Amino acid sequence: MKLELRHLRVVCAIADAGSLSKAASVLGLAQPALTAQLHRIEGLLGGKLFDRDHKGARPTALGELVLERARVLLPAFSRLQEDALRLADEDQPSDRFRVGAVNGPMLGGLVHRLTEAHPGAHVGTRVSWSGEELAASVAQGRLDYVLVGVCGDAPPPSEYGLTWSVVAVDPVCVLISEDHPLTLLDEVPLSALKDVQWAATPGDGCFGDCFSAACTRAGFTPRTLYEVDIMGCIDLAQSGDVIALCQPTFRRTPGLAVLPIEGVPLRWRHLLGWDPESPAAAFGPQVLRYAAEAYRETAERNPRYTGWLGEHPEFGAVPHHAVV
């Protein structure tokens, strides 16, 4: 993992709030998730950024250096984006759909439906591992809509005043070699995987903590959780050395099977957000409908999952009026 601008925003948020608990509230994160992020950032930078005690969090000498540079870089980057977008917009049609998305199953289908229904429109996309970063871009007028995923009942990025609607709710599944004996089961007991190593894609939020808690309830502590991109998850799972956590709509891949976890200890909600004060808000319900159609299309690619959905109607695409 490399240092990114979103990491600098986290460091600034902790310094401005004066404590991890206050910063977690501002960022819309659980405090354990923010603590884990800070540890990863400190690992990237080679040392502690904050001294923490009951009085709060105070920057170390290294933290002061990082903050000094971050408070220069972040505004400069924002101005660069704003100036570039302003210049590009002079040549763009007024009818446009700028969509940001984290790793998920709907972006391709959504773009297809937008271009098909609005052939004269400019449809742009932006992908990031950070839902926070994409939500901020919507609030700043750089994107019109954002597709994010959140763990369980965790809230979406909340500080930007966006309207959020639920597109679908999925069980978190495992991506496993199709030669594994467990593929004969309809659902995999989490306790049967206590001795494996794990992989998952990176992102914001509390998923890592929720996964560890689910393993604890199943009677074990996970050995490893590698944080890698999608191709890394596929390579590791195909090698047989790792089981990856994935969405049930994961595209079918030779040599691999996607299986639900027994009892659904982990859930993933797909959300669409937009700024209610922006012109894009008028098309929000339409884009939400397209996203739900795209989700259903991807779900139907996995017959095993569609069969599972028939027995678990509380999962899958949800009614369009479901608002967070």
Task: Provide the pLDDT for residue 90.
Answer: 45
Residue 324 is classified by DSSP as -
Task: Provide the pLDDT for residue 320.
Answer: 64
Task: Provide the pLDDT for residue 48.
Answer: 93
Task: Provide the pLDDT for residue 91.
Answer: 45
Task: Provide the pLDDT for residue 23.
Answer: 86
H or E segment to which residue 27 belongs: helix 20-27
Q: What tens digit of pLDDT does each residue of 224-256 get?
A: 888 888 888 888 888 888 899 999 988 888 889
Tokens of residue 22, six digits:
């206050």
Is 158 exposed, middle or buried, given 0-12, 13-18 or 19+ CB atoms closer than 10 A? middle
Task: Provide the pLDDT for residue 95.
Answer: 77
State the Cα–Cα distance between residues 309 and 324, nearest whole angstrom. 22
Sorted by sequence, the CB contacts under 8 Å of residue 258 that are 6+ apart come out as 173, 174, 175, 176, 246, 248, 250, 252, 302, 304, 305
Task: Provide the pLDDT for residue 77.
Answer: 80
Task: Provide the pLDDT for residue 86.
Answer: 58
| pTM beyond 0.95 | no
Residues of the chain with pLDDT under 70: 1, 81-94, 320-324
Tokens of residue 210, six digits:
């929720």
Task: Provide the pLDDT for residue 274.
Answer: 95
Task: Provide the pLDDT for residue 83.
Answer: 66
